Structure 1
Amino acid sequence: MLVLAVGFPKTGTKSLGVALAKLGYKTYDYDKTLYYLGKEWMKIVEHGGTKDDFYKMYKDVDASVDGPTSHFWHEILEAFPDTKIVFMVKDSEENWWKSFEKTCKRMQRNYLFRLFTFLSPTANAFRHQLHCVSRVTLGTQNESFFKVFADVNPTIAKQRYRNHNANVLMNAPKDQLLEFHPREGWEKLCKFLNKPIPDVAFPHKNKNGEALEDFMEESPVFRRIKMEVKITTSLIFVLISLVAYYVFTLS
């Protein structure tokens, strides 16, 4: 692990993840983290983990953004003590909550992906993992799909956000820490990481809470989900056809 983004979700994590990948880092966002390391994270969330666990999980990953790694940054830093830390915050706590709430509502309205959880084992596992992580980081309780975010208590969520930020600023090694906002662009980030500045605009992702739509369009995890949905729907169609055939044959 070379770079660890410790900003809370909805502080520019998606933009930073794309930027780090552009700089050549093998980067895990929350989707790859839960897809490739879901079992390991469920063990940590439910039973705890050790420094060795975190090392084994991330020794072949260059960078990580978003949850759950941002929440467990201190434990990961123990496993990778030389990791550079990028810390992002919103302009205000209230702006963070408005942005997070917008994403939650947009997710709740995506009925297509809810349907996929019934047709894809990967989507259903992803739902469960996402719930377990959000229960730890945000205190949510409801596990029905994407109602996982429907019961987020704004007072508790803002408290978790505030406490997380204070913890980072108080305890992260100052010589390894960069306070960063995506609007500051490539120069500040690349100077901190000792990387040349790319000849492209700095990415700006998830500005309007479209994280789930981006996931459904771009994530390699979702490609597997779509394949499983096709297989499941094909099997259902074959089963219905067989039942219909026997019903009409015997009638």
Structure 2
Amino acid sequence: MKVIVAGFIKTGTKTMAAVLDTLGYTVYDWEHHLYHVGDEWIKILQQGGTKEDFRRMYENVDVGVDIPFSVFWEEISEAFPDAKIIFSQRTSEEAWEKSLLNQIKMFNTNWGFLALSTLSYTGFKFFTKVSIVARVLFGNYNFFPWNAFYGVSMTVARKRYRDHCNSVLTRAPKDRLLIFDLRDGWKPLCEFLGKDIPNVPFPHENERGKLAENLMKRSPIFKQMQNEMMISLSVIGLILCYLLYLSIGLFM
């Protein structure tokens, strides 16, 4: 682990993932955490974990970003004492809350995205883990994978965000920390990381909360879920056709 992105969810984490990928790092975003090391995360959230667990989970990964990873930035930084820490936050708590609510709304109204939790085996496992993470971090009352984004307690969410930001700003080692404003672009980030400035525009991801749509189009993990969903729909269609054939035969 070379870089820990300690910004909380909805603080430009998707942009940071794209930026660091452009700089040549191997990046684990939220879907990678839950797909590749999801079982380990559930163990940590439900039973506890150690520095050795984090070191084993991320020893071959350059960068971690987004939840549940970012919530445990301090434990992970202890497991990787040479890793640099990058932190971003919104201009205000109100701006952060508005962004989170918009993201939740986008998730809950994208029926194709939600259908992955019931019509894909990979999706069912994935969103079951999302539900557990959401209950721990945001006080969700959901119990089923297809309800993973319902029932966020904004009182809990605001406190999580506030406490998280205070924790990073007061506890992160100053010699390893960059407080980064995404509007500043490549220069301060590349200087901090010792990287040359790429000859490409600075990315801006997940604008207007289109994460679900972008994941469905770009993520290999979510494409796998979609392929499994299409197989499930085909099987259901064949079963329905067969039942229709049998019912017609009964009346002939």
Q: Provide the TM-score with structure 1 as the length reference.
A: 0.95
Paired position in structure 1 for 2:89: 89
Q: CA separation in 1, counterparts of 2:42 and 2:145? A: 17
Alpha-carbon deviations, 1:217-251, whole Å to 9, x = none? 11111111011012111222222233333444455
- Following superposition, the deviation at residue 47 of structure 1 comes to 0.9
Paired position in structure 1 for 2:186: 186
Q: What amino acid sits opposite 1:8 in the alignment? A: F
Alpha-carbon deviations, 1:96-146, whole Å to 9, x = none? 111111111111111222222221011111211111112222222223456
Bigger relative contact order, structure 1 or 2, given CA contacts below 8 A and separation 6+? Answer: 1
Change (3 A) 1:144 1:179: same
RMSD: 1.5
Q: What amino acid sits opposite 2:16 in the alignment? A: L
- The gaps in structure 2 that reach 5 residues or longer are none
- Following superposition, the deviation at residue 58 of structure 1 comes to 0.3
Q: What amino acid sits opposite 1:36 in the alignment? A: H
Which segment is superposed worse, 129-138 or 233-242? 233-242
- Indicate the SS of the match to 2:94: helix
Q: CA separation in 2, counterparts of 1:61 and 1:133? A: 21
Paired position in structure 1 for 2:236: 236
Paired position in structure 2 for 1:39: 39
- How many residues get paired? 251
Q: CA separation in 2, counterparts of 1:128 and 1:116? A: 11
Q: What amino acid sits opposite 1:73 in the alignment? A: W
Contact 1:85 1:177 in 2 (8 A): yes
Contact 1:108 1:146 in 2 (8 A): no
- Could you tell me the percent identity over the aligned residues? 44
Contact 1:88 1:179 in 2 (8 A): yes
Q: CA separation in 1, counterparts of 2:109 and 2:249? A: 43
Contact 1:5 1:65 in 2 (8 A): yes
Q: Show the 5 A alignment for 1:118-137.
A: 118-137=118-137
Contact 1:134 1:148 in 2 (8 A): yes
Paired position in structure 2 for 1:61: 61
Which segment is superposed worse, 232-241 or 216-225? 232-241
- Following superposition, the deviation at residue 74 of structure 1 comes to 1.2
Is 1:26 the counterpart of 2:26? The answer is yes
Q: What amino acid sits opposite 2:78 in the alignment? A: E
Q: CA separation in 1, counterparts of 2:154 and 2:140? A: 11
Q: CA separation in 2, counterparts of 1:139 and 1:192? A: 36
Paired position in structure 2 for 1:143: 143
- Indicate the SS of the match to 1:71: helix
Q: What amino acid sits opposite 2:72 in the alignment? A: F
- Following superposition, the deviation at residue 211 of structure 1 comes to 1.1
